[in-house]
Amino acid sequence: MSPERPLEVADPERRTRAISAIGLEKSYGRGDRRVKVLDGIDLTVERGTVFSLLGPNGAGKTTAVRILATLADADGGTARVAGYDVRTQRRQVRRAVSLTGQFASVDEKQTGEENLRMMARLGGLSRPAARRRAAELLERFDLTAAGRRLTGTYSGGMRRRLDLAAGLVGEPEVIFLDEPTTGLDPRSRQELWRVVRDLSAGGSTVFLTTQYLEEADQLADRIAVLDGGRLVAEGTAAELKSRVSGHRLDVVVADAAAYERLAPLAVQRSADTLTLGLPTDGTATRVRALLDEIDPERRDVVSFTVHSASLDDVFMALTGRAKTTKEPTHV
């Protein structure tokens, strides 16, 4: 990263921006196999908000998090987290952030309480203060009853909540959650969503990467879509949805020939059910006109329904591909 004057604690930006990045670049590999994972991205995250970074596998989401959390160096660009430069002030950044990834990193041979007390002691708290902090966090994350059980007996959702609690021992200003609900059942996901909402309501800044578009829709104040190492869109969920029209017309067509003919117009496709999703404003006039446009002979469309646009529609329209389920750990 290019040199930049170290930030002072009193920098005005610190009072409003939790994260600020300009022109971040990162490549992996060598020679002809060198791949640019981040291609000059800019990010701004206001304090006390939930910011979500979406993108298909290999888009660079995890790489961006690793750079902002000082776990990797950028090849170019600058970034500040909690008012500190991630290149020249790594120690200050690390004191100000926590990072929870896709897999819980708790010690299975210790109880939940012991895990938290250990983290508190490593953070410099005295024994009495560590006990108090552990008790506070167990209560906050609804783990008090399980606090003296070995974490090896915890469910996936409980382990993930304990992992997040451990990251909050030092009361970080910025919390990075890198696909934290991967592999969790729906109930556990809902529990973690509640925790994220509580953190945001308490003034914490949350930077969330996720493969679940519904998750970003439910939690994020602002969303950025990353594709091919570049940011292709940013805004609120409503703003992004408006880019692909406010609604979607789902049509079931009569046969494969009709499906192939209309597929290029669709933002959602299902070959198995011969269903295509087409953008529309949702008005009766436009729906009638669209049906006449795609099926003037009235032979191809078997049935149709109208839905509000979703982030899935945004994802498909902006990235040109279906969402996938797992991103390489190094990207």
Residues 152 and 250 in one domain: no
C-alpha to C-alpha distance for 178 and 232, rounded to whole angstroms: 20
pLDDT digits (tens, 9 = 90+) for 203-239: 889 999 987 778 888 899 999 988 888 898 898 888 8
Domains in the chain, number: 2
- Identify any residues that bridge with 306 across adjacent strands, giving them in sequence order: 249
pLDDT at position 53, please?
93
pLDDT at position 81, please?
95
Read off the pLDDT band of 18 (50, 70, 90). Answer: very high
Residue 213 lies in a domain: yes
Residues 222 and 268 in one domain: no
pLDDT digits (tens, 9 = 90+) for 233-292: 898 888 887 765 567 788 999 999 999 999 988 877 888 899 998 878 778 898 899 999
- Greater confidence, 53 or 317? 53
Q: Token pair for residue 66? A: 């690793």
CB proximity list for 189: less than 8 A, separation 6 or greater: 157, 181, 212, 215
pLDDT at position 44, please?
94
pLDDT digits (tens, 9 = 90+) for 164-208: 888 888 888 999 998 888 777 888 888 888 888 988 888 889 999
Residue 143 lies in a domain: yes
Residues 229 and 284 in one domain: no
Residue 159 lies in a domain: yes
Residue 299 lies in a domain: yes
Of all residues in the chain, what percent carry a pLDDT higher than 90?
A: 40
Residues 293 and 191 in one domain: no
pLDDT at position 128, please?
93
Residues 91 and 208 in one domain: yes
C-alpha to C-alpha distance for 177 and 102, rounded to whole angstroms: 8
Residue 269 belongs to what domain range? Answer: 245-308
pLDDT digits (tens, 9 = 90+) for 84-113: 999 999 999 998 998 887 666 778 889 999
SS3 content of the chain, % helix, strand, coil (to 5): 35, 25, 35
pLDDT beyond 90 at 327: no
Domain boundary among 215, 240, 265: 240
Domain boundary among 209, 240, 271: 240
Residues 297 and 191 in one domain: no
Residues 61 and 193 in one domain: yes
Residues 216 and 294 in one domain: no
Q: DSSP assignment, residue 153?
A: G
pLDDT beyond 90 at 161: no
Contact 57, 326 (CB under 8 A): yes
Inter-CA distances, 330 with 27, 268, 323, Å: 11, 29, 19
Residues 110 and 192 in one domain: yes
Residue 326 lies in a domain: no
- Residue 54 Ramachandran class (φ > 0 left, ψ -120 to 50 alpha, else beta): beta
Contact 308, 277 (CB under 8 A): no
Q: Token pair for residue 160? A: 């993930």
C-alpha to C-alpha distance for 208 and 99, rounded to whole angstroms: 10
Residue 317 lies in a domain: no
Read off the pLDDT band of 330 (50, 70, 90). Answer: very low
C-alpha to C-alpha distance for 214 and 315, rounded to whole angstroms: 11
Residue 88 lies in a domain: yes
Burial class (CB in 10 A: 0-12, 13-18, 19+), 144: middle
Classified as helix, coil or strand, 227 is: strand
Residues 113 and 78 in one domain: yes
Judged by average pLDDT, the poorest of 12-21, 34-43, 93-102, 295-304 is 12-21
Distance of CA 223 to the CA centre of its chain: 8
Q: Please provide the average confidence, as pLDDT, over all residues in the chain.
A: 84
Residues 71 and 120 in one domain: yes
pLDDT at position 10, please?
41
pLDDT beyond 80 at 321: no
Read off the pLDDT band of 3 (50, 70, 90). Answer: very low
Give pTM, 2 decimals.
Answer: 0.71
Residue 323 lies in a domain: no
pLDDT beyond 70 at 15: no
